[in-house]
Amino acid sequence: VALKKMPLHKRSRKELVVSEIQIMKENRHPNIVNYIDSYLVDGNLWLVMEYVDGGTLTSVLIQVIMEEGMIAAISRE
């Protein structure tokens, strides 16, 4: 299980996050990181997601340079 903290001090950001959570709740797939639950603590939204070994997608994309064919294969899956 992984946790992610999201500050909710901007209203438009709140609406976007609520919409995204609703979509994550309704959609589950073995090839994506699935949503488990969320909690509001001291004005911060904590998302509970499945654990992914190797870090965040952002950290992987910064460290790994992918060629177009590899990106296409991953996107297709």
Fold of 2-76: Phosphorylase Kinase; domain 1 (3.30.200)
Summarised one tens digit per residue, pLDDT across range 16-75 is 888 888 888 998 888 888 999 999 888 888 889 888 777 776 777 787 788 889 888 888
Residue 11 has pLDDT above 60, yes or no: no
pLDDT given for residue 51 in this prediction: 86
The full set of domain ranges for the chain reads: 2-76
Residue showing tokens 């994309």? 61
pLDDT given for residue 37 in this prediction: 92
Cβ atoms within 10 Å, residue 35: 19
pLDDT given for residue 7 in this prediction: 62
Residue 14 has pLDDT above 60, yes or no: yes
Q: Residue 66 contacts by C-beta under 8 Å, 6 or more apart in sequence?
A: 74
Q: Which of 2, 74, 76, 3 is nearest to 45 (CA)?
A: 3
